[in-house]
Structure 1
């Protein structure tokens, strides 16, 4: 895997650089095709990054937004990544494509999620990933069965602590994506990134699944 590491002294400078990176990826994609696609994560860092991205000079009516992963909860739940994204990005005019569809479980909703993702310009043009101290990214957790799903854009997933049902884009979706950004915002996550870049089994460091990528994984690291 080609890792391009960019270090920042403050979360504010990291957030602005990451927003600029995503905006430029989308702007470039729109030069070459009518629609561009963006996948974003949930969590604390997007709360800083997405408002900055929303302010970028982009034709949002030509951008399709989806999620890297989603907790299996309705949009009115406080843990909904969809609700967070809709609140922080201009949706509409951008079109949003949901992972959660209201079914009882991610597995029950898998086929419908795949059908919705089939309307997203693919491969994804710009992806904003977060990373956990345990080494997970999106909702690809160490040891989870979602790590082995290849022939689809999404997969049911399970967060271990606390146990929680989720839907996630597959590692193959991230391998195929254009510009891929990873936010690394504390010491534990920096250690997880260093571990992932060392040789070892995928099950303990899911980021190793991205080894076949031909374009860099750009890590935005809070030093």
Structure 2
């Protein structure tokens, strides 16, 4: 783990956006296309705005989500809605997007279709994770019966039914999230630091799933943190 602390979120987002653009440019130059997985919520919105206004051959970039709530794509709490309304704007509107939802009523019923969509993605150039106060990341919740499956399965995505958060979810698995050239954990807020410290200090991944990424022996996760 490498910990990067910034004076404020504006400095973090400016630096982080540049790093991501450099990685995407390198992916396009070396392999003809770049792949990025992002997280939803409030934390990445300013970062998304930075990226959206940056020059890049966005038509050669494919973006998907680390997880999404099982909602219509235009629903208020949909991560897809956030990505489309903030990130896939301006110059970045030319990027390709792979959705993690279908029209099936239950997430379990749409899992096969989602896995077929994700099968076209090779190794990500970058994955951006978030972290909840309970130590969850993506939709790998410590409260869910599906956690052990999400931490061990070889398939790309799975349906998750958290008991301490609303909505069914579709989440990328640990293996799919780790299949990346660069892994980031994006944290904003003073309250995130004690949670991170608790996660670093222990090794029970079932208690705090983010530990599976912080302590992975082969992946050097980059923690991007600002207290405000």
Pairwise TM-score range, normalised by the shorter structure? over 0.9
Match of 1:190 among 189, 193, 203: 193
Alignment partner of 1:38 is 2:54: no
Asked whether the 8 Å contact 1:66–1:98 carries over to 2, the reply is yes
- How far the C-alpha of 1:213 sits from its partner, in A, is 5.1
Give the SS at the match of 2:71: coil
Residues 72-122 of structure 1: CA distance to partner in whole angstroms, max 9, x if unpaired?
0001201111111111223641111000011111111000000111122x2
| Superposition CA RMSD, Å | 1.6
Residues 156-195 of structure 1: CA distance to partner in whole angstroms, max 9, x if unpaired?
1123333320001111112221111111112332112112
**What residue is the counterpart of 1:172 in the other structure?**
175
**What residue is the counterpart of 1:137 in the other structure?**
137
- Which whole-Å CA distance do the structure 1 matches of 2:70 and 2:217 have between them? 29
What is the total number of aligned residue pairs between the two structures?
A: 220
Residues 12-56 of structure 1: CA distance to partner in whole angstroms, max 9, x if unpaired?
111212212221211111121111111111111121110101122
**What residue is the counterpart of 1:67 in the other structure?**
65
Asked whether the 8 Å contact 1:126–1:180 carries over to 2, the reply is yes
Matching of residues 1-223 of structure 1 within 5 Å = 3-90=1-88, 92-120=93-121, 122-144=122-144, 145-149=146-150, 150-210=153-213, 211-212=215-216, 214-223=218-227
Give the SS at the match of 2:192: helix
Asked whether the 8 Å contact 1:146–1:155 carries over to 2, the reply is no
Asked whether the 8 Å contact 2:143–2:163 carries over to 1, the reply is no
TM-score (norm 2): 0.90
Structure 2 unmatched runs, 5+: none
- How far the C-alpha of 1:9 sits from its partner, in A, is 1.6
- Which whole-Å CA distance do the structure 1 matches of 2:140 and 2:13 have between them? 23
Q: Larger % of strand: which?
A: 1
Asked whether the 8 Å contact 1:71–1:80 carries over to 2, the reply is yes
Give the SS at the match of 2:49: helix
Deviant stretches of 4+, over 3 Å: none
